[in-house]
Amino acid sequence: MTGALLLFSCVILIGVSLRLFLNGVRQAETDRVLERLAEGQPLLAEEHDHWMGLERMFQRAGLGKPTDNLGLWLTFWALAALVGLVVGSWPGLLAMIVLPPLVLRLYIAWRYQRRLQRMIEQLPQLLDHTVRSLKSGRTLADAVLGAIDTTEDPLKSAMSRIQRNVQMGISLPDSANDFAEFYERDEFRLFALGLKVNHRYGGNASELLENLIKMIREREQGARQLKAMTGETRITGYVLAGLPVAMVGYFMAANPGYLMTMWNDDSGRILLFVALAMEVTGSLCMWRMLRSI
């Protein structure tokens, strides 16, 4: 009876995964056609719903649109859930349903922060090129767009958003503001604010950008000094978070019967779950403390 039920569930999951895969392929083709038709259109004021939030996360991380590989992602997810059901029964199925989205979310956040940090490191070079172009007699818009062409990825591909909006007739300050709000970073917001103030009230754009370069570099230097000063605290947090996990791994390798005796006992299983909950809670608390420094 259990084997027949498992086989029936496998067939249903395979059918659902194939249907989702075909729907994802068709949707991706439709999105590519619409993207070609709307290429270069202004990218201002997007609607904020759950799907747009997911698409925003993927684009900010440099992964394109989630619909491009939606069928593939869903197929892998369904297969992982099926493997979890076969190997670990219903707990395995639940784990494989929950873990892949969580791991993907953490990966996207890590990739976004890494990409954003690289963009911030490239921004002073772009501003410096813009200042040199301004001093050679070019206009502010031409200087900024020319500097974008000379920079490298990931900043170049990210700021192509500004170039597309300017080509469609949107002013440079509004395009830069849209870019800054998309990536939600203070350095980009200051850059957009400087362009807006210069566009509305005039003034020396070269001096403004030079001050912005100085501010970004001083802020980066201060962040590095703070990281160096808090290095001991961060290492302590990593050790305290990893020590229980390392001890469990050691016991499983050296004397697995020690932990299995606790796992097979009702009270021991409760103690293990309590220890796991305390470990996760303590790790989250230390992570929040380190993030607040």
Residue with tokens 């991380």: 61
Give the burial class of 172: count Cβ atoms within 10 A of its Cβ; 0-12 exposed, 13-18 middle, 19 or more buried.
buried
Distance of CA 5 to the CA centre of its chain: 39
Q: Per-residue pLDDT tens for 248-275?
A: 888 888 887 877 887 888 888 888 888 8
Q: Per-residue pLDDT tens for 71-113?
A: 777 787 788 788 877 776 777 777 778 888 888 888 888 898 8
Task: Provide the H-helix boundaries in 151-204.
Answer: 155-167, 172-183, 186-201
pLDDT (mean) for 113-142: 88
pLDDT at 54: 73
**pLDDT above 80: residue 159:** yes
pLDDT (mean) for 220-247: 81
**pLDDT above 60: residue 155:** yes
Residue with tokens 């590519």: 32
Q: Is the model's pTM score more than 0.75?
A: no
